[in-house]
Chain A
Amino acid sequence: GNSVTQMEGPVTLSEEAFLTINCTYTATGYPSLFWYVQYPGEGLQLLLKATKADDKGSNKGFEATYRKETTSFHLEKGSVQVSDSAVYFCALSVGGSTLGRLYFGRGTQLTVWP
């Protein structure tokens, strides 16, 4: 089946620290991979995506590389800011009969202290 396993949180960092949030997946077929971010009291916002192996998605200083050999899509940022504090969700989608459906991980709470 299709599933996403995400690094357990919460993660607490000081401002300007390096961030890694691990994500691995299981999928039927060739998935597209996503990172979504959820700020307090809000819905989900797409942070970045990658649609094929070895693609790197990037946005707002965040990066993630689609690694087919390790079935991973780890999120990284070189220097986090207080404003990055949020919950981060890794997700995948596959085509066919489930086109458009997203499978999410449990989320990782990130707190950045000044």
Chain B
Amino acid sequence: DAGVTQSPTHLIKTRGQQVTLRCSPKSGHDTVSWYQQALGQGPQFIFQYYEEEERQRGNFPDRFSGHQFPNYSSELNVNALLLGDSALYLCASSSLDRGTEAFFGQGTRLTVV
């Protein structure tokens, strides 16, 4: 079992650009959540996807959007990047129906310059 995989590992973008991050959940998991972890801070919940729909959302602007595919993988898109979007973006997968705990990927380090 490969666990939760995220790509790319690192990314550098220019302010104003758009970025797409990808996540493949752990086998058997159908729910994907995304978190933003700024340097020296705890992860902050962005949103959660289940059955290809955004199920709940944290306090993030509409520049942050996502998608879940039929195979349960997910993408996080951020438009009009700001310097403050520089962070580690973590994907977590789980199965809400079976009450499994969340498993995290290794994260994507996004740097906006």
Q: Which partner residue on chain A sits nearest B96 by CB separation?
A: A100
Which of chain B's residues have a CB closer than 8 A to the CB of A61? none
Q: Is the CB of A101 within 8 A of B48?
A: yes
Q: Which residues of B contact A105 (CB under 8 A)?
A: 42
Q: A46 near B42 (CB under 8 angstroms)?
A: no
Per-position binary interface string of chain A over residues 79-103, scored 1 when its CB falls under 8 Å from any chain B CB and 0 otherwise: 0000000000101000001111111
Interface presence of B110 (CB below 8 A): no
Q: A43-B90, A44-B90, A46-B101 are in contact. Are A102 and B106 (CB under 8 A)?
A: no
CB atoms of A44 and B94 under 8 A apart: no
> Are B43 and A89 in contact, with the CB atoms below 8 A?
yes
Contact B42 A43 (CB under 8 A): no
Chain B residue, CB-CB nearest to A91: B42
Task: List residues of chain A with CB within 8 A of the CB of B44.
Answer: 104
Report the nearest B residue to A107, measured CB to CB.
B42
Q: Is the CB of B42 within 8 A of A100?
A: no
A contact residues around B105 at 8 Å (CB): 43
User: A44 to B104, Cβ gap below 8 A?
Assistant: yes
**Contact, CB under 8 Å: B43 / A101:** no
- 8 Å CB interface, A49-99 against B: 49, 89, 91, 97-99
What is the CA–CA distance of A94 and B102 in the complex, to the nearest angstrom?
13
Residues of A within 8 A of B (CB): 4, 6, 34, 36, 41-46, 49, 89, 91, 97-107
Given contacts A4-B42, A101-B58, A102-B43, 7 further A-B contacts (CB under 8 A): A6-B42, A43-B6, A43-B104, A44-B104, A46-B103, A100-B48, A102-B33
